[in-house]
Chain A
Amino acid sequence: MEEEVEMEGWHQLYPGHIPTSPLQKVLLAAGSAVMALCDPYRHGKAGERSACHPHMVAVLGETTGCLALPNLRDKMKNHPEGYRILRERPRIRLSTLDMARLQGLPDGSLGREYVRFLENNVSVGFHGVQIPVADPCAWSTGEIGATELSWTSLDLQKVSPDTRMPPKFVDDEELAYVIQRYREVHDLMHTLLGMPTNMLGEVVVKWFEAIQTGLPMCVLGAAFGPVRLSTRKLQVLATELVPWAIRSGLNASCVLNIYYEQRWEQPVESLREELGIFPPPAVRV
Chain B
Amino acid sequence: MIYQVFENVAKKYDVMNDSMTLGIHRVWKDILVHKMNPCPGTLLLDVAGGTGDIAFRFINYVRSVRKRQLQRKLKHHQNLSWQEIFESYQKDEFNSLGDSQVVVCDINREMLKVGKQKAQHLGYSEGLSWVLGNAEELPFDDDKFDVYTIAFGIRNVTRIDLALQEAYRVLKPGGRFLCLEFSHVSNPLLSRLYDLYSFQVIPVLGEVIAGDWRSYQYLVESIRQFPPQEELKAMIEDAGFFKA
Residues on the B chain within 8 Å of A11, using CB:
none
Set B211, B214, B217: member contacting A50, Cβ < 8 A = B211
Stretch of A1-9, A260-268, A269-277 that contacts chain B: A1-9
Please indicate the chain A residues that have their CB under 8 angstroms from the CB of B201 in the complex. 27
Closest to A44 in B: B211
Interface 0/1 of B142-164, CB less than 8 Å to A: 00000000000000000000000
Given A24-B203, A27-B201, A31-B204: A3 in contact with B210 (beta carbons within 8 A): no
Q: Report the minimal beta-carbon distance from A138 to chain B, rounded to whole angstroms.
A: 14
Smallest CB gap from B212: residue in A: A49
Judged by a CB distance under 8 angstroms, whether B134 is at the interface is no
What is the CA–CA distance of A28 and B207 in the complex, to the nearest angstrom? 8
Q: Is B88 an interface residue (CB 8 A)?
A: no
In the assembled complex, the CB of A56 is this many whole angstroms from the nearest CB of chain B, namely 7
The size class of the interface chain A forms with chain B is 20 to 34
Q: How far is the CA of A51 from the CA of B216 in the complex (A)?
A: 13
**How many residues of B are in contact with the other chain, CB < 8 A?**
23
Some 20 contacts from A to B, beta carbons below 8 A apart, are A1-B8, A1-B214, A5-B218, A18-B213, A18-B214, A21-B200, A24-B200, A27-B200, A27-B204, A28-B208, A31-B204, A32-B208, A34-B208, A49-B210, A50-B211, A51-B209, A51-B210, A51-B212, A52-B211, A56-B208
- How far, in whole Å, are A48 and B9 apart by their CA atoms in the complex? 10
Cβ contacts under 8 Å, B205 to chain A: 31
Which residues of chain B come closer than 8 Å to A24, judged between CB atoms? Answer: 200, 203-204
Q: Are B221 and A7 in touch, CB under 8 angstroms?
A: yes
CB nearest neighbor in B for A60: B208
Bound together, the chains give a CA A56 to CA B208 distance in angstroms of 7
Nearest 7 interchain pairs by C-beta: A51-B211, A31-B208, A27-B204, A23-B200, A28-B204, A49-B211, A1-B4
Is residue B11 contacting chain A, with contact meaning CB distance below 8 A? yes
